[in-house]
């Protein structure tokens, strides 16, 4: 919309005639129009394909190659055209950017070729329109990752960074077992012991034949108590040592302790220690036995060794709501059928359906088509209800499952995309803010328009900070405080006429024009733009026409447009020090009024 | 009477019910039956030819071409409706609320009051504002202020207009805007313009007063080179 808005400026200015009769102060003189040359057609010859456009179209973006005098380097006298030895297919999109203000990314093009063309023509990729921006970023990231992966595979063997501390080495060894032999050995040893421990838990409940002086069979665990105890001790030793080592090596211990894996580790080894501490008391032995169940959690330690388990856990977590809903609908159906079944079978003698909760079991077994047969309806109504139950069971269970499966993939991809987008947005806004510039003539005229508005209403634009200051203070502000407050970086940048509209179709943001002709006149505000820029390497920097950048807090991305009003007291910032031809217009306080112009 | 109507209603319900069952059995979805075709209601409008516009306005051929190209870029359908106009105008005054003033402007531009501005209307008004005589400009301004087109500007109309102009500034202005300031402005205006003190300003009073005021005369000329 950048081009379009400039086209409407004459209408807006003409409409300003409507303010004239009600104005309470004389109007500022209009800016001197930089004489634009006659608008002519420019021929751009890109590797044989001729493109033509108006000169004004190209000059909308004066900080790109085509919009500035840099294109003169490519002028070909014999044919009176500009010749570029580049790809004409991609050039088409670049030229469309000048025409429409939106840069699109063609999906069939290679991302690196596209990036090269953009870099050549001086266009920053952040201005790619919303329609194509995601795709562009995705492709770019894939490319970068691919390059990185290739590099990693090459450098994997010799990734010894000598300046890593011992702690960091250990942590790296724990996280990536294939980085060193020691780590690999450790990895396999722990894996082996996890398997051994789980097997021991399983085997100790197997009946092992009758003991020597007992009649009934005992489990292996009770027969070979000492052996199993030794095995258990050994495993717990290893697990404890591993946990402690990880705790020491972790870069952020607090985060490590909070993580799921460490909780599993703790739960896996706790029962042993609790068993050691507790005496052989009759009351607590029951609880102690329960505690041994937790030993099975050791199997979850395998998830460190298996990426698939981790993904499964993550997807289950992210689909918790869907699973919950499935459970809820099943519960509803179970309750309904169980109730009906109970009342249907109430009449029959020796019915197993003694209560509704008892009927729950039948309903579940029927709905999941298990059909154990331990509870069977005898009455006719009961049988009818039972058949309806089993038919609906198939539906109720079969229907949500594909939904859940598709939800899995949808939610998984969605959360990934949302994170991507959030990360992209931040960089995109800053890039966009920098790049969306409009031509200086438009800026001058737009500001003159706003200036007229100020004169009409006899009020002035100020930044939010001084507005609040003036609200809070009854008397005039003290000079020193006001000076520092208004020029110190206002956190949200100035509500300059143009900066706040980043969110809308912004047609311009930081203005780079200088009040050239106005300096001479005494009766006015000399407007000096102090632009604060977060990144200073962009091409736009170089073409900016302001005369001095005041370095305010460079951490904040604030675009400050300050108007230093020539005032009796020495002004805070004037690039031209002596140009403070004081104007008695300035009535009120010594606040440096930071006008939006 | 009642019996037959009731019977009719019963029959209708029964028919609907059987239809419903039939649809259930055959498995047709209700949305299959509806054949909605959205008719595209784009309005296409193109202006009169260039020569005619040239004769009607004070613009040269190149200027008209330039203006139309920009116009067509934003409004491919050839007309601007009120919402688009408000949106475009808001881009110039990002700090304040320009919708009311844009509405007054729209009504002033829209001579035939059909709710949309064609290119001719815009360009004719533009030529008056930028290239016309001062009397024509003052005439236009009077039409802008006279919201109900009754030939007189009342205090309420002036108050509305001034409020909308102050709205363009937004909140962050210095000194702080007080309610009284706008009324004061209205009073000043009427003091200056209302010669016979009858509480309204007619067009002759308006033009006379403005022509006597040097500042206003001067300021009417500042946009003359806008295109």
Residues of B in contact with A456 (CB under 8 A): 165
Q: Is A259 on the interface with B (CB under 8 A)?
A: no
Q: Is B203 on the interface with A (CB under 8 A)?
A: no
Based on the number of CB atoms within 10 Å of its own CB, is A530 exposed (0-12), middle (13-18) or buried (19 or more)? buried
Distance CA B148, CA B157 (A): 8
A139: Cβ–Cβ under 8 A, 6 or more apart, which residues?
A105, A111
> Which CA distances in Å does B131 have to A121, B59, B117, B223?
40, 8, 20, 9
Based on the number of CB atoms within 10 Å of its own CB, is A586 exposed (0-12), middle (13-18) or buried (19 or more)? middle
Q: Are A12 and A449 in contact (CB under 8 A)?
A: yes
Distance CA A424, CA A164 (A): 32
Q: Please give the pLDDT value at position A50.
A: 92
Partners of A51 in the β-ladder: A44
- The CA-based angle B47-B50-B55, given to 5 degrees, is 110
Cα dihedral sign, A65-A69-A73-A75:
positive
A79: Cβ–Cβ under 8 A, 6 or more apart, which residues?
A45
Reduced to 3 states, what is the DSSP secondary structure of residue A45? strand
Cα dihedral sign, A247-A251-A255-A256:
negative
Q: Is A518 on the interface with B (CB under 8 A)?
A: no
What's chain A's length in residues? 597
Identify the CA nearest to A262 among candidates A279, A272, A249: A249
Q: Please give the pLDDT value at position A585.
A: 38
Q: Please give the pLDDT value at position A90.
A: 92
Q: Please give the pLDDT value at position B86.
A: 87
From the first residue on, what is the mean pLDDT of each consecutive set of 10 residues in chain A (597 residues)?
65 82 77 65 91 87 85 86 90 90 88 89 85 86 72 53 74 82 88 90 82 70 85 91 91 88 87 77 65 78 76 74 81 93 87 90 92 92 93 83 73 61 69 61 81 80 65 48 38 39 37 35 34 36 36 36 38 37 37 37
Distance from CA of B53 to the nearest CA of A (A): 17
Q: Cα-Cα-Cα-Cα dihedral of B171, B174, B177, B183, to 10°?
A: -130
DSSP 8-state secondary structure symbol assigned to residue A103: B
Q: Please give the pLDDT value at position A569.
A: 40
* ipTM, interface predicted TM-score of the complex: 0.74
Residues of A in contact with B95 (CB under 8 A): 461, 495, 497, 500, 596
Q: Please give the pLDDT value at position A270.
A: 85
What's chain B's length in residues? 227
Distance CA A411, CA A416 (A): 8
Q: Are A566 and A579 in contact (CB under 8 A)?
A: yes
Tokens of A256: 């490590």
Alpha-carbon Rg for chain B, nearest whole angstrom, is 28
Nearest 5°: phi and psi at B49?
-75, 170
> Helices (H), strands (E): how many in chain A?
21, 7
Q: Identify whether B175 is preceded by a cis peptide bond (ω within 30 of 0).
A: yes
Residues of A in contact with B105 (CB under 8 A): 15, 18
> For an interface test with A, which of B140, B173, B183, B185 has the most A Cβ atoms less than 10 Å from its Cβ?
B173
Tokens of A373: 């047969």
Determine whether the interchain pair A18/B105 forms a contact, defined as Cβ–Cβ distance below 8 Å: yes
Residues of B in contact with A453 (CB under 8 A): 93, 165, 168-169
Concatenating the DSSP letter of every residue in A215-248 gives: SSEEEHHHHSHHHHHHHHHHHHHHHHHHHHHHHH
Q: Is A32 on the interface with B (CB under 8 A)?
A: no
Q: Is B163 on the interface with A (CB under 8 A)?
A: no
Q: Which residue in chain A has the smallest CA separation from B132? A: A14
Q: Which residues, numbered 46 to 85 in chain B, qualify as contacts with chain A under a Cβ-Cβ cut-off of 8 Å?
A: 62, 66-67, 69-71, 73-74
DSSP 8-state secondary structure symbol assigned to residue A556: S
Distance CA A581, CA A545 (A): 23
Distance from CA of A433 to the nearest CA of B (A): 16
Residue numbers of chain B with a pLDDT score lower than 70 = 1-2, 24-44, 226-227
> Which CA distances in Å does A373 have to A95, A352, A376?
76, 11, 6
Q: Is B192 on the interface with A (CB under 8 A)?
A: no
Alpha helices by DSSP H, listed for A111-219, are 111-120, 130-155, 166-175, 181-203
Q: Please give the pLDDT value at position A313.
A: 76
Identify the CA nearest to B81 among candidates B53, B59, B54, B107: B107
Determine whether the interchain pair A450/B93 forms a contact, defined as Cβ–Cβ distance below 8 Å: yes
Tokens of A355: 């209560």
Q: Please give the pLDDT value at position A535.
A: 37
- pTM higher than the cut 0.90: no
DSSP run (H or E) holding A46: strand A41-46
Identify the CA nearest to A575 among candidates A528, A541, A513: A528
Distance CA A504, CA B101 (A): 20
Q: Other C-beta atoms within 10 Å of A108: how many?
A: 5
Residues of A in contact with B143 (CB under 8 A): none
């Amino acid at each position: 919309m950048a081009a379009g808005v400039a086209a409407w400026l004459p209408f807006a200015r003409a409409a300003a005639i409507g303010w004239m009769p009600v104005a309470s102060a004389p109007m500022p003189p209009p800016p001197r129009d930089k004489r634009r040359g006659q608008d002519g057609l420019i021929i751009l010859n890109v590797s044989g394909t001729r493109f033509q456009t108006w000169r004004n179209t190209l000059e909308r973006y004066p900080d790109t190659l085509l919009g500035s005098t840099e294109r003169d380097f490519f002028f070909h006298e014999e044919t009176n055209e500009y010749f570029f030895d580049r790809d004409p297919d991609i050039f088409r999109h670049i030229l469309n950017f000048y025409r429409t203000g939106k840069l699109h990314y063609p999906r069939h093009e290679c991302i690196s070729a596209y990036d090269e063309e953009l870099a050549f023509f001086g266009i920053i990729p952040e201005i790619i329109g919303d329609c194509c921006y995601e795709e562009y970023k995705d492709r770019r990231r894939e490319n970068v990752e691919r390059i990185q992966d290739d590099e990693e595979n090459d450098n994997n063997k010799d990734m010894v960074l000598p300046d890593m501390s011992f702690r960091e080495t250990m942590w790296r060894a724990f996280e990536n077992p294939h980085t060193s032999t020691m780590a690999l050995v450790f990895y396999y040893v722990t894996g082996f012991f996890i398997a051994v421990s789980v097997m021991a838990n399983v085997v100790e409940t197997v009946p092992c034949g009758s003991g020597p002086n007992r009649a009934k069979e005992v489990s292996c665990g009770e027969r070979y108590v000492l052996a199993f105890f030794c095995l258990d001790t050994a495993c717990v030793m290893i697990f404890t040592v591993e946990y402690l080592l990880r705790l020491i090596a972790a870069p952020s211990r607090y985060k490590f302790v909070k993580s799921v894996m460490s909780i599993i580790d703790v739960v896996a080894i706790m029962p042993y220690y609790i068993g050691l501490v507790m005496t052989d008391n009759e009351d607590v032995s029951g609880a102690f036995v329960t505690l041994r169940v937790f030993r099975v959690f050791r199997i979850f330690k395998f998830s460190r060794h298996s990426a698939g388990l981790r993904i499964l856990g993550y997807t289950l977590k992210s689909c918790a709501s869907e699973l919950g809903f499935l459970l809820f609908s099943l519960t509803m159906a179970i309750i309904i059928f169980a109730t009906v079944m109970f009342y249907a079978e109430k009449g029959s003698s020796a019915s197993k359906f003694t209560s509704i909760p008892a009927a729950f079991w039948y309903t579940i077994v029927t709905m999941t088509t298990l059909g154990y047969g331990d509870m069977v309806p005898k009455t006719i109504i009961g049988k009818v209800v039972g058949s309806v139950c089993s038919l609906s069971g198939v539906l109720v269970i079969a229907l949500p499952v594909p939904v859940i499966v598709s939800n899995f993939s949808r939610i998984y991809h969605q959360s990934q995309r949302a994170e991507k987008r959030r990360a992209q947005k931040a960089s995109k806004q800053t890039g966009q803010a920098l790049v969306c510039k409009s031509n200086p003539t438009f800026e001058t005229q737009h500001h003159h328009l706003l200036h007229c508005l100020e004169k009409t209403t006899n009020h002035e634009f100020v930044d939010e900070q001084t507005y609040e200051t003036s609200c809070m203070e009854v008397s005039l502000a003290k000079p020193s405080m006001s000076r520092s407050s208004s020029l110190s970086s206002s956190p949200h940048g100035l509500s300059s006429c143009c900066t706040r509209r980043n969110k809308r179709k912004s047609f311009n943001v930081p203005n780079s024009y200088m009040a050239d002709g106005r300096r001479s006149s005494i009766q006015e505000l000399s407007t000096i733009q102090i632009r604060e820029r977060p990144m200073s390497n962009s091409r736009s920097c170089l073409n900016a026409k302001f005369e001095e950048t005041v370095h305010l807090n460079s951490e904040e991305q604030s675009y400050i447009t300050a108007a230093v009003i020539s005032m009796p007291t020495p002004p805070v910032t004037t690039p031209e020090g002596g140009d403070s031809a004081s104007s008695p217009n300035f009535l009120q306080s010594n606040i440096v009024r930071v006008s939006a112009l | 009477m009642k019996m037959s109507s009731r019977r009719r209603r019963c029959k209708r319900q029964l028919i609907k019910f059987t239809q419903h069952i039939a649809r259930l059995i055959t498995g047709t979805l209700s949305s299959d039956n509806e054949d909605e075709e959205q008719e595209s209601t784009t309005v296409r409008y193109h202006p009169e030819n260039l020569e005619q516009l040239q004769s009607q306005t004070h613009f040269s051929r190149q200027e008209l071409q330039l203006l139309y190209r920009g116009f067509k870029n934003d409004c491919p359908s050839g007309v601007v409706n009120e919402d688009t106009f408000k949106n475009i105008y808001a881009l110039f005054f990002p700090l304040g609320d320009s919708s009311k003033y844009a509405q007054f402007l729209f009504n002033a531009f829209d001579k035939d009051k059909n709710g949309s501005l064609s290119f001719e209307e815009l360009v004719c008004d533009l030529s008056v504002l930028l290239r016309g005589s001062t009397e024509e400009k003052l005439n236009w301004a009077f039409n802008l202020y006279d919201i109900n087109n009754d030939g007189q500007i009342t205090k309420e109309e002036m108050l509305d207009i001034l409020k909308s102009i102050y709205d363009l500034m937004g909140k962050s202005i210095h000194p702080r805007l007080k309610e009284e300031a706008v009324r004061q402005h209205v009073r000043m205006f009427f003091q200056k313009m209302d010669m016979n003190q009858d509480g309204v300003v007619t067009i002759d009073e308006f033009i006379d007063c403005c022509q006597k005021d040097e500042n206003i005369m001067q300021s009417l000329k500042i946009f003359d080179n806008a295109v």
